Amino acid sequence: MLAPAEKTANLIDPVALRRAFGTFVTGVTVITTRDADGTPRGMTANSFTSVSLDPPLLLVCVGKGAHSYGAFNSSDSFAVNLLHEAQTDVSNLFASKAANKFDTVSHDRVHTGAPILTDCLTWFDCTMHSRVDAGDHVVLIGEVQAFGTSPTAPLGFCRGRYANVKDPLPPGWLESQGMIVGYLIESDGHLLLRSDGKGGWGLPSAKRRIADNELKLDGGDALTLVPDDTFLYSVFDVSDGDPGYLIYRARLAQDSASVALSPGLKFFPIDQLPYDAIPTREISSMLRRYARESASKRFGIYMDSNDGGRLAMVGEAQPWATLPQS
């Protein structure tokens, strides 16, 4: 008589099992990382799920036969990019064995250095929490360090083909669940602020992150930034609202006096910022920290937490590809 494990293995038809698994409707993701020499690597995957909110964990599965398996199995970070309904071409590209997948797809760095697709439904930038060996796959469990989302409809997948998903956005969902991406844009000792139309001031924001060093602000203004001086600065929630804030510091590529700005945008001397006219306490506190750090040219990265947050000081930004890789 066969042992239970052997009997089960002989009774299960892998082709039929794959088809059965395929009846579960999923989204489509492109998972990305960098290999030992900093080269971006990515592949299409639909075995993705959320795991935990505290700590913030998710998981993806990578087949051991995948061309990028070695990179994912050795990296200490990765990103998950959920695709929207108009990205079947991106899904097909990253499902292929093309050598230069990233040449025609705009991507950027946010927190860990893993490539983030600048046009996608939702992205999660993760450090590696743990790996679990699971048969012919490895399960990567990532801890989310940053994320962003958009109001577009998702790309679905079922029975081995793409599926359309009717996705009416609930009223207020993006505002209450999304991250507000704000920028500390400095030029010649001045910082750019945006009027709230009520006598107060806040940070300029952008729905899309930087592509080709150009930042398109909410409201239509397009600014060219110095790429080496654009870096994550602060991640926090506000006490009187749902949205979280993802803040970058950046430097304008040209003199502020030569830039034509829309009404409502204004550069203030950093030593004369209008703190009393900034209605959000957390933003005001962050700007005071930025003014202090700007004076010493030593910047930190702040991460919110239940006990008051964490501040890590950082040195000069360096291109990832130039750093020694372990």
pLDDT digits (tens, 9 = 90+) for 202-226: 998 886 555 567 888 877 788 888 8
Is residue 5's pLDDT more than 70?
Answer: no
- Looking at residue 100, its pLDDT comes to 87
d(CA 51, CA 33): 20
- Looking at residue 185, its pLDDT comes to 93
To the nearest whole number, what is the mean pLDDT of the chain?
83
CA atoms within 13 A on the CB side of 287: 30
- Looking at residue 3, its pLDDT comes to 46
- Looking at residue 12, its pLDDT comes to 78
- Looking at residue 257, its pLDDT comes to 73
Cis omega before residue 55 (within 30°)? yes
Is residue 272's pLDDT more than 70?
Answer: yes
Using pLDDT thresholds of 50, 70 and 90, give the confidence band for residue 26: confident
d(CA 94, CA 101): 6
d(CA 74, CA 138): 11
Using pLDDT thresholds of 50, 70 and 90, give the confidence band for residue 179: low
Higher pLDDT, 109 or 209: 109
Amino acid at 93: L
- Looking at residue 242, its pLDDT comes to 46
Share of the chain above pLDDT 90, in %: 32
C-alpha to C-alpha distances, 324 to 37, 166, 168, 318, 321, nearest whole angstrom: 8, 47, 47, 11, 8
- Helix-, strand-, coil-residue percentages of the chain, each rounded to 5: 20, 40, 40
- Lowest-confidence region among 140-154, 260-274, 287-301: 140-154
CB burial string 257-269: b at 16+ within 10 A, e below: eebebeeebebee
Using alpha carbons only, give the angle 49, 51, 52 rounded to the nearest 5 degrees.
145
Domains, the chain: 7-164 (2.30.110.10), 173-322 (3.90.79.10)
Higher pLDDT, 198 or 1: 198
Using pLDDT thresholds of 50, 70 and 90, give the confidence band for residue 2: very low
Higher pLDDT, 290 or 165: 290
* Mean pLDDT, residues 114-140: 91
Using pLDDT thresholds of 50, 70 and 90, give the confidence band for residue 173: low
Amino acid at 322: T
Is residue 321's pLDDT more than 90?
Answer: no
**What are phi and psi for residue 288, nearest 5 degrees?**
-65, -40
- Looking at residue 297, its pLDDT comes to 86
194: which 2 tokens?
């945006």
